[in-house]
Amino acid sequence: MAATRAPTRAAVDLLNTMRSRHGPVAAQFRSLRCCPKLPARSLHSTAACRAIADQKKPEPAGTEDHARPRNARTAPLGLLVGSGLVSGLLASFFALSQPAAEANGDAAPPQTHTTPAPTAGDSRDPSLPRFRLADVRKHGAASAQPWVTYEDKVYDITEWVGAHPGGDVILRAAGGSIEPYWNIFSIHKAPHVREILDQYLIGYIDAADLLRREHEAIEDPFVADPERDARLVSHTARPRNAEPPTDELTRAFHTPNSLFYVRNHMWVPVVGEGAEGDEHAVTVELPDGETRRYTLGELKARFPTHRITAALQCSGNRRSDMTKQATKTNGLQWGVGAISNAEWEGVRLADVLADAGLRVADAQAATAVAKPPPPPPPPPDDDYDDDDDAPPPASSLHVQFSGLEAYGASIPLETALDPRGDVLLAFGMNGAPLPRDHGFPLRAIVPGHVAARSVKWLSKIAVADEESHSQWQRRDYKGFGPNEGASPDWDRAKAIQEMPVTSAITGVWVGRGADKAAPGPSSPTGSNGGAGAQPVTLEGYAYSGGGRAIARVDVSLDGGKSWDQAALVDDCASGKCPGNRAWAWTRWRYSGRLPPAEAVTTTTEPDTNAGGNKACTTLVVKATDDAYNAQPETHASVYNVRGNLATAWHRVRLCRLSAGAVEWETDGCGFVNGSRKRGAEGQEKEKGSK
């Protein structure tokens, strides 16, 4: 394990420099970005970069080609971007930890060297060459063929640079080991990331260099991360990604701040609290290139404060369900808890944009944005075109958000200016300042949309003629067809914005205690079962994006053969949910009776733990919103390799042992496989967990 140290001021400066690559620019200019195929530190238009990236890179003359018969193809982009973490973390942290190669005109010529043969006692694949570390160092950032090492292997990442969403920033690791970075960014230990790297394997480190190999000391950006609630179910530690335990998820309408699901792509920025936090500034850039800077204190003092109750949901919520029900997906294997509900406090983005001087031509937008007085008539000039000063239509523009840690995303300007859209620059959550994990001191809240657009630790807002160039906007958080596989057309697919309708079961009670288990119906409401059938109570949530309210929640206790309707909990009665639309989740309750064990709707399966058989049934929930959008029946119909928008009917299997004491077992997304509860007539809750 590499030695670590806290980030230095120089590292922070480097990060700020890197972050500017993802920041927006004035709309009248083409966005510029580092182009990996051109000389170091050159800036070129996006179109130029794409054209160059599409060209096949010729093999340098006179360079020894260490054949890569099974690795010569480019990695599938679907695997390459993973959850957006792979590219983002490598890109940002490499920029933070190692200086870039100095520009010196053309890239350094390819290096030539001899390849040692395997030595006695080296049992590794003899068909692959061995390389000395001195030779690897020759293939640094300035080389035409950059290499990296991991464990005892050598990889040529030349082709990866062109396909890598983070561009040439990955070259900062070239010529050395990638291992120290992966030891800190634990997400890279995922099997699919190794699959990406293995496609570029060209050989092994020579045995002579394996005896005493030291890694460089690198800075650990996670040392200042906040402490988290021990109840959170963690999927990755660095960066932290965690969800609340299922049985805690819908216990309250407003998710406690400490249990709100955590979705971080990198480390949590450090910003001082109190007066120092109020000095945090966000820069607003308009299409004409004009900028305006606002401190948090100024936002609080100058603009009206608004509150909304809104759920935020990750696009990968219930991804593990899609993996189990369909096939392998790439990304964090969330249960049912990558969604939470809170009351947010802040100022309207539309008000801030108007104050900064934004002018748009759309009549609808004019209701949200006050225009300045019209300019004086132009001077008589035959070459004058009065269209030059005409404000652009809002429909052609985007609002780009950039965070302190380099994350970026964007939304259509029409969304930001919608008078009923409630897009906020938020500084409060459930009556308290934003917690650090959730964007302190300032974040965007775009209700009804995928949470990836509600950028945390907000530092810059720009109105531009195109979407953010962040890889999280261009190469992640998109949906594809079941047939598109690991190499989809990212440019063709639209970025996810409004979320589809979904629902989930978060709690199950069986037996005498079911009637008293939770608020809501106190007696069975369904026709399932018969005399002597066990009572059961279910609870959960339903949610739809775009401000669409939940119209109905359907529940089945027999795998979908018969249905009944759940009771919707009216948490928003008497104006308790501020906001112009239905942004919050809806909690639901249902009481019914399980089908008897001998009914055809149940299944009988071997019980290997207790001996004998267990009688099982499947509990199912599905929701419909007020636009009559409904959930798909299966994940196979909406399968995509990224595992986004896993919104099929939620199923939980419930089993009772047919012999011995009363014992119930639950199995399904959000529930421990084979978890068991033993109690008086099954009165205890079947607790969900991941």
Judge whether 263 counts as a catalytic residue: yes
β-bridge mates for residue 622, sequence order: 554
Catalytic residue among 34, 49, 314, 616: 314
d(CA 606, CA 610): 9
DSSP 8-class letter at 498: B
Catalytic residue among 477, 541, 543, 639: 477
Cα 194 from chain centroid (whole Å):
20
- Token pair 């947010």: residue: 344
Strand ranges (E), 366-457? 398-403, 408-412, 424-429, 432-433, 443-445
Judge whether 477 counts as a catalytic residue: yes
Catalytic residue among 130, 139, 188, 238: 188
| DSSP of 57-90 | PPPPTT------TTT-SPPPHHHHHTTSHHHHHH
β-bridge mates for residue 505, sequence order: 540
Judge whether 655 counts as a catalytic residue: no
Largest CA distance in the chain: 97
φ, ψ at 679 (rounded to 5°): -170, 180
d(CA 514, CA 526): 14
Catalytic residue among 21, 33, 164, 635: 164
Which has the closest alpha carbon to 342: 470, 457, 463, 430? 430
Judge whether 204 counts as a catalytic residue: no
Residues 6 or more apart from 147 whose CB is under 8 A from it?
Answer: 136, 139, 154, 155, 156, 157, 174, 175, 202
Residues 6 or more apart from 277 whose CB is under 8 A from it?
Answer: 271, 296, 433, 440, 441
d(CA 321, CA 647): 9
φ, ψ at 351 (rounded to 5°): -65, -40
Instruction: Retrieve residue 640's tokens.
Output: 């995509």
Q: Name the amino acid, one letter, at 310.
A: A
Residues 6 or more apart from 389 whose CB is under 8 A from it?
Answer: 375, 378
**Cβ atoms of 125 and 152 closer than 8 Å:** no
**Cβ atoms of 215 and 2 closer than 8 Å:** yes
d(CA 309, CA 634): 30
Which has the closest alpha carbon to 475: 458, 496, 455, 460? 496
Helix ranges (H only) for 347-476 are 349-356, 363-366, 413-417, 471-474
Judge whether 132 counts as a catalytic residue: no
Helices 9-19 and 85-97: crossing angle in degrees, nearest 10, is 130
d(CA 505, CA 508): 8
d(CA 426, CA 393): 26
Catalytic residue among 263, 306, 438, 453: 263
C-beta atoms surrounding 10 within 10 Å? 11
d(CA 86, CA 190): 10
Catalytically annotated residues = 164, 188, 263, 314, 477
